[in-house]
Amino acid sequence: MYLIVGLGNPDAKYQTTFHNMGYLAVGDVAEKLGVKFKKKECEAMTAEANVRGEKVILARPLTYMNASGRAVKQLMARYKLSPDQIVVIYDDYDLPKGHVRIRPSGSAGTHNGMRSIIAETGISAFARIRIGIRDEEVKIPIINYVLANVKKEDYDLFTSACNRAADAAIALAEGASVENVMTKYNG
């Protein structure tokens, strides 16, 4: 069993912001697996899929980004999941825009949603799929940047990045090792 969590903010006004890359990517996972987010549980909207006989729960926390850990902690408890069954997809200001980076563990970096997950669950050894959002040409504070809408000229770049992140998450749910997924999708 796997839990694939896409981080973002639940309000419609944040739908096309950089901070919602995780929401968008987990939406791509749902589309590829032919499921919809219908169930509200554990402070998240969830969808359930079956990948090669394994149950996969897709989740979009309904908390704001800075409290994402509450939903992840509750979902882990409800489904009795260990860290190796968790995949979190999120935007990362520390990576250039459009880059996708998969890691088996790590720190939260500058990401408050990841800080919340690590603080609430007490773990940092879970797979994460990061979607780079940094634009070297934009010189505004990070908090303003992550809540800004993606520029129209970058839409295709981020659509492609979210699609690659979704493919990486599905590969993990299919049983591919993090190392193999890193080799195939990092970049």
Please answer whether residues 14 and 60 qualify as being in contact, where contact means their C-beta atoms are separated by less than 8 angstroms. Answer: no
Q: Are 4 and 26 in contact (CB under 8 A)?
A: yes
pLDDT at residue 145, rounded to an integer: 83
Q: Are strands 54-61 and 86-96 parallel, antiparallel or unpaired?
A: unpaired
**Identified catalytic residue from 19, 60, 128, 134:** 19
Identify the band that residue 103 occupies on the pLDDT scale cut at 50, 70 and 90.
very high
pLDDT attached to residue 143: 82
- The whole-chain average pLDDT of the chain stands at 93
The domain segmentation of the chain, as residue ranges, is: 2-185
| pLDDT exceeds cutoff 80 at 149 | yes
Residues 67-80: what's their mean pLDDT? 97
- CATH code for the structural domain at 2-185: 3.40.50.1470
Q: Give the mean model confidence (pLDDT) for residues 34-45.
A: 96
Summarised one tens digit per residue, pLDDT across range 135-148 is 888 788 888 888 88
Active site residue 19: yes
How far apart (Å, rounded) are the C-alpha atoms in residues 102 and 178?
8
Report residue 109's pLDDT band, with 50, 70 and 90 as the boundaries. confident
